[in-house]
Structure 1
Amino acid sequence: MSASPQPEIVTLGCRLNIAESDTIRQLAGAGTAIVNSCGVTQQALKDTRATIRRLRRRRPDAELIVTGCAVAMEPDAFGAMPEIDRIVGNSVKLLPASWGARPNAVRPGGVTRAFVGVQNGCDHHCTFCAIPQGRGANRADPIADVIARIAALVAAGQREVILSGVDLASYDDHGAGLAVLVERLLVQVPGLERLRLSSLDPHAIDEALFALLTQEARVMPHVHLSLQAGDDLVLKRMRRRHRRAEALRLIERLKAARAEIAIGADLIAGFPTEDDAMFANTLAMIAEGEITHAHVFPYSPRRGTPAARMPQVDPAVARDRAARLRAESAALLSRRLRSQIGSVQQVLVERPGTRGHTPDFAEVRLASSYPVGQVTGVTITAAAADHLTGTIIA
């Protein structure tokens, strides 16, 4: 069997893992098979084990390496898996030496959009979450380092960057927060055309960051919030720092200041003790906040977390509630997409040259192929349930 020109990487979990996998791809040896794992829930651990076994069956001759939160949280259990050749710790997985690469070996990745991890760890200890165990305390990459990395990506042809982190809104480089990072990045990398931010804790969005989200044209009008629930008692039991009214006020302010903003949210269905009335509050919040990009997960207990010791909701009920949340958000997305028929949108064309995204992150399918990596005007001609169709303006 011939070696692959690049390592094969299977990425599980969050956007930060996606960003880290992009770096690992530049460091790891050809022909290796890598799982960048997630351990946020028991289901995530189960999925990681199943992924490792499938990858080993498919790549029997490859060196199979596992990194990520799952192996950080349960090193002995994963260390005993016969399918794994080597484990790379979470704290060293971005170091060239961990993969046998030279210190200057990292090369910019693709040609359209890049996930760039700038923050890691979390200090908040939500009752459902094991992230502090897997990734440690909140820490940030220095602003100068982030700007240098993104400048190199832009010079290599990237048109859009997504800043990612475990708790991105808590970014803190010696007192300089996320707003300072974004401001300096936009000034010092003028060639960066489009900037997105991954999931933000609503409680941590200060006025400076709010102004950038609503007034800076190069910051895309798509705000994804880590809401988790829409009921105050559930939020309290989750140990979240915001309450329902605070989240809805923030969304109302965002939309009032920048009408084209699309709202996304992370939501958990079936959190322990959630009854029908509590769930109804979360369901209603989707409509009240016009949440069109909902990332919904049925609750899955994680051993060692406080929520795992609370009275549990039947998993079938949690799955049903998750489906209802997704359906409500999907209906709002469909309505939003229909409202854009006839408009002209600036679309970043992505692989394979017939698809891309608008500034508010609506997917657009093009009637004809266009060079990948270009931002072009597109007349929207039709809308399906989950995407737009458009024609490039000559």
Structure 2
Amino acid sequence: MKFSIITLGCKVNAYESQYYAGQLEELGYEQVSPEQPCDICIINTCTVTNTAASKSRQKIHYAKRMNPNALCVVVGCFVQFANEEERKALDADLVIGAKQKNELVKLIQQALNEHEKIDVVNEVTQFKDFEAMPVHFFESMHRAFLKVQDGCNQFCSYCAIPFARGRERSLDHNQVIQIAKDLCDRGHSEIVLTGIHTGRYFDGEYHLANLLKDLLENTPEHVYYRISSIEITEVTDELIHLMQENPRMCHHLHIPIQSACNETLKRMNRPYTIEEFKEKINYIRSCIPDISISTDVIAGFVQESDEEFETTYKNLADLELSFFHVFPYSKRNGTKASTLKGEINGKIAKARVARLLELSNACREKDMQRFNPVQVLIERKQDGYYTGYTNQYHPCKILSDAPLSGRITIEWERIEEGTYYGKKDVVCD
């Protein structure tokens, strides 16, 4: 039998889709693209904004249109956040919310055998245990991802994730170590710890820094570790010390700021002030001078005045972060922010996004100039170039006729559109 997967939303969703594919392939199912004929269509949904929810609905309709006789499986945040009537309107054969996702294959087989529609969306209050979804191999990649945490307790005013994924929960640290060992045995040389709130990992006495320390001690010396994203309030002294002392910890942190203006942060229900954020960034840099720190920013949040935006712009320029992911604010019904008056005109929000992206490009160029030579993990060959990311998570392309693989050090020749370019004859090792 053949199956396809459409994935929307975050890196955690991408990880979970990889898990679904691996489980089905182990049973002999063949993955094809969503445009091809198949027997099972899986749509892994997102609900973080109204736009994301709308895209999820569109993709569900698209999958049913392309393969009207296939089993339609809808999973994830969108259906978890939707009410029963909205879920029925999708006319899917199998609907799975944020719980029992690790049973997706078993539920697919049940739906195929029973020829009846199945809905297994549970109340988020029931989500107490972490459901392990180990992925043991990432094809054609030296970098692997390991989901260690799920859920969120923060309740930012614009975000539906706590309602869609439930409260925070973490994977047992012994299971984390075993999965990491399996990934190493299969040839992966960099492991990225990921989750909805990765920095809130907690398993008994094990916080994130304890977990990373054990991972470093129990995996080969050539294997490096990276954190996908972490809140400023979660960057502990223990974690900073570990990154400072162990060269196998990649010197990059992605720390979402969302706004750099206190008034906006307060409406967002973010748990820090811009002064506290700046102070912590300066402290991290004082301990790890060669670290790069990137961020997420929301432009045009509800009631964001011109003055508030200019404050955000100025503070971001002062922080000199390595790059920004910039998003225009998009309302999500059911969140606190959706009840506030004072939505920003779309053209204004778009202009603010453009200014921040221009600033981000300048910041990345400046940050990249700090490093030469650079250490690069080669991931694939594309258009004649070997491509990968540096320790500080800047993209790199290397022109080489001879095969390149693994982690190498090069001196780059130029920076073009946020990418290092180098040649084989200047590879240092």
Distance 1:314 1:112, change over 3 A: same
Aligned positions of 1:81-120 closer than 5 A: 81-82=90-91, 84-95=92-103, 97-100=106-109, 107-110=136-139, 111-120=141-150
1:170 CA displacement: 1.1
Distance 1:104 1:201, change over 3 A: closer
Q: CA RMSD in A?
A: 2.3
| TM-score calculated relative to the size of structure 1 | 0.91
User: Is 1:12 aligned to residue 8 of structure 2?
Assistant: yes
Provide the rounded CA distance (Å) in 2 between the counterparts of 1:104 and 1:117. Answer: 8
Q: Percent identity?
A: 30
Select which of 358, 361, 379 maps to 2:411.
379
Q: Deviations over 1:299-342 (max 9, x none)?
A: 111111111111222222222212211111111112333454xx
Tell me what 2:345 maps to.
314
Tell me what 2:357 maps to.
326
- The one-letter amino acid paired with 1:97 is K
Q: Deviations over 1:95-150 (max 9, x none)?
A: 3534559x999642324111211111111211111111100001001111111111
User: Is 1:73 aligned to residue 81 of structure 2?
Assistant: yes
Aligned positions of 1:283-302 closer than 5 A: 283-302=313-332
- The one-letter amino acid paired with 1:347 is V
- The one-letter amino acid paired with 2:379 is E
Which structure's CA Rg is the greater one? 2
Provide the rounded CA distance (Å) in 1 between the counterparts of 2:254 and 2:42. Answer: 29
- The one-letter amino acid paired with 1:86 is L
- The one-letter amino acid paired with 1:49 is R
Unpaired runs of 5+ residues, structure 1, are none
Q: Deviations over 1:7-63 (max 9, x none)?
A: 432222222112222211211343433221110111110121222233444445543
* Contact residue 333 and residue 385 of structure 1 kept, 8 A: no
Provide the rounded CA distance (Å) in 2 between the counterparts of 1:140 and 1:63. Answer: 32
1:265 CA displacement: 0.6
Select which of 380, 388, 397 maps to 1:365.
397
User: Is 1:349 aligned to residue 378 of structure 2?
Assistant: yes
Q: Deviations over 1:197-253 (max 9, x none)?
A: 011110122211122233321111111002111011111111111110111112112
* Contact residue 79 and residue 87 of structure 1 kept, 8 A: no
Select which of 160, 163, 169 maps to 2:190.
160
Q: Which moved more, 1:311-320 or 1:140-149?
A: 311-320
Tell me what 1:124 maps to.
154
* Contact residue 12 and residue 147 of structure 2 kept, 8 A: yes
* Contact residue 221 and residue 260 of structure 1 kept, 8 A: yes
User: Is 1:265 aligned to residue 274 of structure 2?
Assistant: no
Provide the rounded CA distance (Å) in 2 between the counterparts of 1:104 and 1:164. Answer: 12
**3-state SS in 2 of match to 1:325:** helix
**3-state SS in 1 of match to 2:255:** strand
**3-state SS in 2 of match to 1:323:** helix
1:377 CA displacement: 2.1
Provide the rounded CA distance (Å) in 1 between the counterparts of 2:221 and 2:57. Answer: 42
User: Is 1:198 aligned to residue 207 of structure 2?
Assistant: no
* Contact residue 34 and residue 64 of structure 1 kept, 8 A: yes
Q: Which moved more, 1:30-39 or 1:219-228?
A: 30-39
* Contact residue 412 and residue 422 of structure 2 kept, 8 A: yes
Distance 1:118 1:373, change over 3 A: farther
Select which of 17, 22, 35 maps to 1:21.
17
Tell me what 2:34 maps to.
none
1:352 CA displacement: 2.7
**3-state SS in 2 of match to 1:200:** coil
Provide the rounded CA distance (Å) in 1 between the counterparts of 2:22 and 2:201. Answer: 25
Structure with larger RCO (C-alpha < 8 A, sep 6+): 1
User: Is 1:37 aligned to residue 49 of structure 2?
Assistant: no
1:65 CA displacement: 1.9
Unpaired runs of 5+ residues, structure 2, are 31-37, 111-131
- The one-letter amino acid paired with 1:81 is L
* Contact residue 19 and residue 114 of structure 1 kept, 8 A: no
